[in-house]
C-alpha cells in the first residue's frame, strides 16, 4: 500500500462494513460547558454512537475547544474527531481530524489556505488526518454563510455528484454532504442516492437537519454511510434514548 490508513478511519470503515452504517455525534464546544459536553458524549456512547466529532463554525477554538475535548475523553473511549471550521479548530488532545476542503466555497481560504496553515500543526499534534471533501447543500445554515459556499441547489443532485466525483478523483476518502446545522430538512435522499452511485467505495457522510431515526434510516437506505447529528442530540431531553433509536434504525 502506498499510504497508511489510520486507526480511526479504519474503525469507521469497519463499523460501516459490519453494521451497514455508522453514527457520529457532533458536539459544538460553543453550545455548552465542557462538563455538559462530556455528559452528552457519555450518554451518546451509551446509546451506541460510533465516534464523537468536536467542532463548529463560530467560537470552537482555544481553551474552550481544548477543555471540551479533555472532558469528553474522561467520559468515553470512543475516537474524538475534530471538525474544524478553520485552523483554530485544531487541538492536540483529540485523536483525529477531518482534514476537509470546502469544495464549493468561493473563498480559497476554505478550500486550501487554512489547510496549509493547519497541516504542520496536524503533524506536530500527532493527529490522524482523514481526508474529506465538504460540500454544502441548500439551505447551508451558518456554515454555508461563514464558508461563503455556492450552495448546491436541492433539486440539482447531478451537481453534488460532480463535486463528489471530483473529490474521489482527487483521492479524498470521505465526502460529507452538509445541509447546515439545524436545517429544516436534511439533504434530499435522491441527492444522496445519486452522489453515492458516483462515489462507489468512498464513504459518504450526511449531516444537517437529521432529527429522527426514520430520517436517518431513509438517508442510509439512499446510500449514506455515516450519519451526523448535532442539534437533535443537544436538544433532546434523553441523549441515550435518542441516539439509541437512531443507531438501531440505521443498522442492519
C-beta of 183: minimal distance to ligand 1GP in Å?
6
Instruction: Output the smallest distance, CB 84 to ligand 1GP, in A.
Output: 12
What single DSSP character describes residue 222? Answer: H
Query: With respect to ligand 1GP, which residue has the nearer C-beta, 4 or 102?
Result: 102
Q: Rounded to the nearest 5°, which phi and psi values hold at 151? A: -55, 135
| Phi/psi at 207 (5° precision) | -155, 170
3-state secondary structure of 147: coil
Q: Return the range that interacts with ligand 1GP (CB under 6 A); candidates 91-99, 127-135, 150-158, 222-230.
A: 222-230
Q: Decide: residue 168, CB within 10 A, 0-12 exposed, 13-18 middle, 19+ buried.
A: middle
Does position 105 bind ligand 1GP by CB under 6 A?
A: no
Cβ proximity to ligand 1GP, 124 vs 225, nearer residue? 225
Sole residue written with cell 439545524: 182
β-strand partners of 81:
53, 96
Least gap, CB of 140 to ligand 1GP (angstroms): 10
**Whole-angstrom Cα distance, residue 183 to residue 231?**
9
Residues in the interface with ligand 1GP (CB under 6 A) total 15
230 binds ligand 1GP (CB under 6 A): yes
**204 part of the interface to ligand 1GP, by CB under 6 A:** no
Give the CA angle between residues 123, 208, 250 to the nearest 5°: 95
Residue 208 interacts with ligand 1GP (CB under 6 A)?
yes
18 CB-near residues (< 8 Å, 6+ apart)? none
| Residues 6+ positions from 119 with CB-CB distance below 8 Å | none
26 binds ligand 1GP (CB under 6 A): yes
Chain centre to alpha carbon of residue 50: 12
Q: Per rule CB under 6 A, is residue 49 in the interface with ligand 1GP?
A: no
Smallest Cα–Cα separation from 84: which of 73, 96, 76, 75?
A: 96
Residue selected from 157, 207, 213, 223 as contacting ligand 1GP according to rule CB under 6 A:
207
Q: Is 27 in the site for ligand 1GP (CB under 6 A)?
A: no
By CB under 6 A, tell whether 89 contacts ligand 1GP: no
Confirm or reject binding of residue 181 to ligand 1GP (CB under 6 A). yes
Rule CB under 6 A: say whether 217 interacts with ligand 1GP: no
Which residue of 160, 228, 243, 246 would you call a contact of ligand 1GP, by CB under 6 A?
A: 228
Which residues sit at the interface with ligand 1GP, rule CB under 6 A? 26, 143, 178, 181-183, 207-210, 228-232
Amino acid at each position: 500500500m502506498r499510504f497508511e490508513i489510520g486507526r480511526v478511519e479504519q474503525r469507521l470503515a469497519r463499523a460501516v462494513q459490519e453494521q451497514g452504517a455508522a453514527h457520529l455525534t457532533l458536539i459544538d464546544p460553543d453550545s455548552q460547558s465542557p462538563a455538559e459536553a462530556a455528559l452528552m458524549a457519555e450518554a451518546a456512547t451509551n446509546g451506541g454512537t460510533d465516534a464523537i466529532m468536536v467542532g463548529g463554525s463560530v467560537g470552537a477554538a482555544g481553551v474552550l475547544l481544548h477543555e471540551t475535548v479533555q472532558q469528553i475523553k474522561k467520559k468515553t473511549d470512543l475516537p474524538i474527531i475534530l471538525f474544524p471550521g478553520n485552523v483554530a479548530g485544531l487541538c492536540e488532545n483529540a485523536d483525529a481530524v477531518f482534514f476537509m476542503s470546502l469544495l464549493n466555497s468561493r473563498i480559497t481560504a476554505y478550500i486550501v489556505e487554512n489547510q496549509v496553515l493547519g497541516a504542520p500543526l496536524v503533524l506536530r499534534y500527532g493527529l490522524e488526518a482523514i481526508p474529506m471533501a465538504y460540500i454544502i447543500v441548500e439551505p447551508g445554515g451558518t456554515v454555508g454563510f461563514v464558508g461563503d459556499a455556492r450552495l448546491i441547489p436541492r433539486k440539482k443532485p447531478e451537481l453534488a455528484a460532480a463535486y463528489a466525483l471530483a473529490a474521489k478523483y482527487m483521492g479524498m476518502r470521505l465526502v460529507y454532504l452538509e445541509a447546515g446545522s439545524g436545517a429544516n430538512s436534511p439533504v434530499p435522499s435522491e441527492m444522496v442516492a445519486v452522489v453515492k452511485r458516483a462515489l462507489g467505495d468512498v464513504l459518504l457522510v450526511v449531516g444537517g437537519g437529521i432529527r429522527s431515526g426514520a430520517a436517518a434510516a431513509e438517508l442510509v437506505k439512499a446510500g449514506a454511510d455515516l450519519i451526523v447529528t448535532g442539534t437533535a442530540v443537544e436538544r433532546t431531553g434523553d441523549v441515550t434514548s435518542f441516539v439509541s433509536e437512531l443507531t438501531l434504525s440505521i443498522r442492519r
